[in-house]
Structure 1
Amino acid sequence: MKVILSADRTCDLTDELRETYGVETIPYHISLEGKDYTDNVDITPEELYQAFWDRKVLPKTSAINAFEYKNYFEQWTSQGYAVIHFCLGSALTSSYQNCCIAAEELENVYVIDSCNLSSATGLQILDCRKKIDEGMAPEEIYEYFSHNQQKYHGSFVIDTYEFLKAGGRCSAITAFSANLLNIKVSIEVDNTSGGMNVGKKYRGKQDKVLKQYVKDKLTQYPDIVRDKIFITHSGIDEKYIELVRQTIEETMSFEHIYVTKASCTISSHCGPGTLGILFATEEARE
């Protein structure tokens, strides 16, 4: 049986990676000032940022509903294909439950809760392609990734608190104090659900913070998988990307360092200047 590898587009893989690894994706919806858009199809993170800076309006992101998922999957299941689909972490969205509802009405659709976001989900997808190519059955692949999400680690450092404050995710006092003291917070993804926790707090200029953050993350685990690592950002000056790449190379050797840009769904919550590194470990670790 031919297997289709699929994901929510919040996996934040580049067009090139999706094409190379044969990954189909379905995007989320963005609502801005009464108009509906398709994430990274007819609206970009920069347009969302500009709307906020100019008019202090925030977008609303919408989960993919069960009807959309069903129609999306049927283009392949109707031809006898199996579909393995990775969802954005279930703690972050109702899309996972909607996807499961759609899958129950079809045959051979395997829905995996990535328990993560952005390119930490992308890491799972690239590893899944290898298992598909090796001939592993869809049922076995589903079982593997449903029990090994804790091998995949995502975190990021936020540069501005304006979007978090406007979205009600931090108080005005917290945002003011952090900006006054030049504090930048590392947000750690809980890879048992996809939820997020506050991690280490850094103080100083962005270049200093990012360099220390990379070193901290790469020395946190003794068994980081060296085949690939992602640098994913929400829109940031190229010099910081290169600084992070250089710091990675100085700290640890990876076969591939991929740079990707976060989707509107991810970027709209954290604002511009956010950057994270995302990687896997040999053993499952929270």
Structure 2
Amino acid sequence: MKTAIVTDSNSGISQAEAEKLGISVLPMPFIAGEDVYHEGKNLTTERFYELLTGDTVLRTSQPSPGEMASLWDNLLESYDEILFIPMSSGLSGTYTSARLLAEDYDGRVEVADARRISITMRHIVLDALAMREAGLSAREMREEIEKIALLSIVYVGVEDLKYLKRGGRISGAAATVGSILNIKPLLVIKGEKVEPFATVRGSKHCKKREVEEVLKAAQGFLDAGRKIWVGQAGSFPDEADIEEWKKLGQEAFPTETVFYDPLSYSVSCHTGPNAFGMGVSVRWEPGMKN
């Protein structure tokens, strides 16, 4: 069977990289006033941050059934089947919409609930590529992905509290006090929720704490005899900040290839600019026991 692998832009995988990997990426839509943008198509990084930091409230949305069907129909002209890996069902309605739409495709489209977003969502797409190389069908790939979905964790540090306030995740009073005291929230994403994990004084200490927590999680996976993926992300407009963050990650994991991606726009909408993420997940291997 010739299987197409499709994900969405919450994975951090760009259209150019998707072409190199031999996969397809469904752009996520964003709404600013009366305008609709699509990540990686008519919404560049520069324009995204211009909208995010401006007066217009930038809202996340999900691909329409028509957009999904158009991509799937085009792929099925060249492929026997499709594996679609959207963002976690607990964070978006895309998974549910895709499952309903897939019912019209007579078993040729499998939709996997990877229970992930951003950094570790990228990891599961790379795992899917390994599964395809190993000869698994779309159904078998979906089953394997859902078995290892929760063997991952992401931490995100937030620089500017006003975006958490805007999204209703913290009160106005908490945002004001936090800004005065230079408090930086550290969030955790595991499975279906984005939850507060810790509060740390200052960005430098928050980054250090984040790396420490990822190291702990990674060691737990390694102690269980697993191989791992390690990744970083950020919503840094400044290239120097990106390089500084990447350096911290590579120093923490000197023997691993540490990927870096821009933090997905869906996450950045809630965290604002200069947020920094780091995550680790178990790497899929043929015959692995979960």
Scaled by the length of structure 2, the TM-score of the pair is 0.88
1:21 Cα deviation from its structure 2 partner: 2.1
CA contact (8 A) 1:39 1:265 kept: no
CA contact (8 A) 2:211 2:249 kept: yes
Q: Distance in 2 between matches of 1:133 and 1:8?
A: 21
5+ residue gaps, structure 2: none
1:226 Cα deviation from its structure 2 partner: 5.5
**Identical-pair percentage:** 20
User: Structure 2 vs 1, CA of residues 91 and 82 (structure 1 numbering), >3 Å: closer, same or farther?
Assistant: same
CA contact (8 A) 2:221 2:228 kept: no
1:73 aligns with 2:72: yes
Match of 1:246 in 2: 247
Match of 2:136 in 1: 136
Q: Distance in 1 between matches of 2:32 and 2:244?
A: 34
Amino acid corresponding to residue 221 of structure 2 in structure 1: D
Question: Which aligned pairs between 1:197-212 and structure 2 lie closer than 5 A?
Answer: 197-204=195-202, 206-212=203-209
1:196 to 194, 197, 222: 194
Instruction: Give the aligned length.
Output: 280
User: Structure 2 vs 1, CA of residues 83 and 211 (structure 1 numbering), >3 Å: closer, same or farther?
Assistant: same
- After TM superposition, the structure 1 stretch with the greater mean CA deviation from structure 2, 232-241 or 33-42, is 232-241
1:137 Cα deviation from its structure 2 partner: 2.3
Find the residue that maps to 1:222 and give its secondary structure: helix
1:281 Cα deviation from its structure 2 partner: 3.2
CA contact (8 A) 1:49 1:268 kept: no
1:97-140 Cα shifts (integer Å, max 9, x gaps): 11111111003211011211112111000011011011122221
Amino acid corresponding to residue 212 of structure 1 in structure 2: R
Match of 1:281 in 2: 282
Q: Distance in 2 between matches of 1:16 and 1:256?
A: 20
Match of 1:257 in 2: 258
Q: Distance in 1 between matches of 2:20 and 2:229?
A: 15
1:27 Cα deviation from its structure 2 partner: 0.8
Provide the alpha-carbon RMSD of the alignment. Answer: 2.3
1:37 Cα deviation from its structure 2 partner: 1.4
Amino acid corresponding to residue 101 of structure 1 in structure 2: L
User: Structure 2 vs 1, CA of residues 63 and 16 (structure 1 numbering), >3 Å: closer, same or farther?
Assistant: closer
Amino acid corresponding to residue 72 of structure 1 in structure 2: L
Find the residue that maps to 2:31 and give its secondary structure: strand
CA contact (8 A) 2:5 2:84 kept: yes
User: Structure 2 vs 1, CA of residues 252 and 159 (structure 1 numbering), >3 Å: closer, same or farther?
Assistant: same
Find the residue that maps to 2:150 and give its secondary structure: helix
CA contact (8 A) 1:124 1:152 kept: no
Match of 1:217 in 2: 214
Find the residue that maps to 2:112 and give its secondary structure: strand
